[in-house]
């Protein structure tokens, strides 16, 4: 995680992120303001592409209304079923494209041509939407040495208190920038007259690959997981198969194998939050320091040895001790380069900082 940005760029990037992250833009909540910008960008992109391709602008307007109604319906249904409002992009993308396809089929129009435009409009909306996520603190990244950090105002608005002031990978901004390139390439292809359906397949497939990898950097917890992959990664694999059938098996195998190899030391986001909670409990004042244990069996305690901060970690294999040590430093907001990991025997590892 710490190698995502060159070391000399980190202070400038962190300063930039600290300046732009805010809950409100004027009197409007930042997330909502970015949503409005996304709607405008999506409508503009869709209208321009439809006009150039000779498609019916009234039909595009009908599809826009259909997308808006579908978006609200999915959001309300999710809130009724789950008891809280939770916007999941993949749910909305699939529902909107399916609803638009049904409308187009019922009107006897070219499904591929109009869905090419709809896909680029969705991408334009997502570009702005992820900036809104960055502002609000949702869909956040994992603890890292560099990145964005959120304050007390975000905590009062629902951001996890355990990550207050912790630097997090700005995965929302990374996704926004990458989707910008995907949408730009798709718009160029449509503008040059690619066969109907090409833009749709390009957007779905390229975003599926992007999302699969970005999920390794996501730090928000509470999402389903099966066989080392979460819901979004399984959805990405299925959509990749639908968009690019010849590459399905090879692409899925390469993603899983390479992902397991490159990111094998990263823990699931739920485990990260469990360690953060155990660290907070271990810091409570007590007469006798007592190790705290997470549901996954990681035990840790906090203290000091002279002028050095001391963390004791056990219940983890040796190859995971370094990873846990780095995570503890990130959660504590420590930037010290002078720290050491010492094996104390009996499966206990000592982290000395200072």
pLDDT of the chain along its 354 residues, tens only? 455 555 555 677 777 888 888 898 888 999 999 999 999 999 999 999 999 999 999 999 999 999 999 999 999 998 888 777 788 899 999 999 999 999 999 999 989 999 999 999 999 999 999 999 999 999 999 888 888 999 889 899 888 888 888 889 999 999 999 999 999 999 999 999 999 999 999 999 999 989 988 988 888 877 777 777 788 988 998 898 888 877 666 666 666 655 555 554 455 677 888 888 888 888 777 766 678 888 878 888 888 777 678 888 888 777 677 778 888 888 877 665 678 888 877 788 888 887
Would you state the pLDDT for residue 202?
95
Q: How far apart are CA 71 and CA 74, in angstroms?
A: 5
What pLDDT shows up at residue 80?
Answer: 86
At residue 247, the pLDDT reads 61
Cβ 310 vs Cβ 291: under 8 Å: no
* Token duo for residue 292: 């705290």
The pTM of this model reads 0.86
Nearest-angstrom CA–CA distance, 349 and 317: 10
Helices (H) and strands (E) in the chain, counts: 12, 11
Alpha carbons 248 and 233: distance in angstroms, whole number: 14
Query: What confidence score (pLDDT) does residue 50 get?
Result: 95
How confident is the model at residue 7, as a pLDDT?
56
The string over 325-347, giving b where at least 16 C-beta atoms fall within 10 Å of a residue's C-beta and e elsewhere, is bbbbbbbbeeeeeebeeeeeeee
- What is the crossing angle of helices 89-107 and 111-136, to 10°? 160
Report yes or no: 92 and 69 within 8 Å, Cβ to Cβ.
no
The per-residue DSSP string of 7-64 comes to: GGGHHHHHHHHHHH--SEETTEEHHHHHHHHHHHHHHHHHHHHHHHHT--HHHHHHHH
Report CA-CA distances (Å) from 170 to 4, 63, 131, 160, 314.
Answer: 10, 33, 10, 16, 30
In the DSSP assignment, the letter for residue 163 is: G
């Amino acid at each position: 995680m710490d190698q995502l940005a060159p070391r000399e760029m980190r202070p400038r990037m962190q300063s930039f992120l600290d300046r732009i992250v805010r809950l409100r833009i004027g009197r409007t909540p930042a997330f909502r303001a970015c949503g409005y910008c996304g709607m405008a960008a999506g409508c503009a992109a869709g209208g321009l592409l439809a006009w150039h391709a000779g498609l019916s602008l009234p039909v595009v307007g009908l599809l826009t209304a259909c997308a808006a109604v579908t978006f609200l319906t999915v959001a309300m249904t999710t809130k009724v079923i789950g008891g809280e409002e939770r916007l999941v992009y993949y749910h909305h993308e699939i529902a909107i494209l399916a609803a638009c396809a049904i409308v187009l089929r019922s009107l006897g129009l070219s499904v591929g041509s109009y869905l090419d435009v709809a896909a680029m409009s969705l991408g334009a909306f997502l570009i702005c939407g992820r900036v809104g996520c960055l502002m609000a603190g949702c869909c956040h990244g994992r603890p890292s040495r560099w990145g964005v950090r959120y304050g007390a105002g975000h905590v009062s608005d629902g951001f996890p208190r355990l990550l207050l002031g912790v630097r997090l990978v700005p995965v929302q901004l990374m996704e926004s920038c990458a989707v910008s390139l995907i949408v730009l390439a798709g718009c160029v292809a449509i503008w040059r007259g690619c066969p109907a359906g090409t833009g749709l397949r390009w957007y779905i497939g390229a975003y599926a690959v992007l999302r699969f990898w970005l999920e390794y950097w996501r730090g928000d917890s509470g999402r389903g997981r099966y066989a080392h992959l979460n819901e979004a990664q399984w959805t990405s694999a299925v959509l990749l198969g639908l968009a690019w059938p010849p590459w399905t098996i090879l692409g899925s195998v390469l993603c899983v194998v390479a992902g397991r190899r490159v990111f094998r030391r990263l823990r699931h986001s739920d485990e990260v939050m469990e360690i953060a909670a155990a660290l907070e409990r271990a810091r409570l004042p007590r007469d006798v320091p007592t190790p705290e244990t997470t549901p996954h069996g990681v035990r840790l305690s906090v203290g000091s040895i002279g002028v050095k901060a001391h963390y004791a970690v056990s219940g983890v294999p040796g190859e995971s001790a370094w990873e846990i040590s780095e995570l503890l430093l990130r959660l504590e907001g420590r930037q010290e380069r002078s720290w050491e990991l010492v094996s104390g025997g009996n499966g206990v590892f000592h982290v000395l900082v200072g």
